[in-house]
């Protein structure tokens, strides 16, 4: 019987890709449950919170097609790397927000 064997590099790539998608998934789905806390912390009205959340999801939806084109042009490895780094940068920048304006 043949056994599957994977190199350390293959396992590292698999774990990295899995973690990237997990982080992306959690970031997308956590906003709805976090919005009451975010609204209070940033003194958002319900309309401001809705606009903030809408902008997040619209940006996500708009970037799906360019992300696919980018993956075709530069390859999936670099696309995942760029996506993960930009997601980390944007998340870090979002932590500096102290009010709506």
pLDDT in the model for residue 1? 59
Q: Residue 99's closest CA among 43, 49, 54?
A: 43
Output the tens digit of pLDDT for each of the chain's 101 residues: 578 888 999 999 889 889 888 988 888 888 888 889 988 988 889 898 888 888 888 988 898 898 889 899 999 888 878 888 888 898 888 878 777 66
pLDDT in the model for residue 78? 87
pLDDT in the model for residue 74? 92
Q: Is the pTM of this model over 0.95?
A: no
Q: What are the backbone angles phi and psi of residue 69, rounded to the nearest 5°? A: -65, -40
| CA distance linking residue 63 with residue 57, whole number of Å | 10
Q: Which two tokens stand for residue 29?
A: 């789905």
């Amino acid at each position: 019987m043949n056994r599957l064997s994977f190199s350390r590099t293959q396992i590292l790539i698999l774990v990295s890709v899995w973690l990237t998608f997990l982080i992306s998934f959690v970031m997308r789905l956590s906003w709805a449950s976090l919005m009451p806390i975010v609204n209070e912390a940033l003194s958002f009205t319900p309309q401001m919170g809705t606009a903030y959340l809408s902008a997040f999801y619209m940006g996500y939806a708009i970037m799906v097609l360019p992300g696919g084109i980018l993956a075709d042009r530069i390859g999936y490895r670099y696309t995942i790397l760029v996506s993960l780094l930009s997601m980390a940068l944007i998340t870090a920048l979002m932590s500096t927000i102290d009010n709506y304006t």
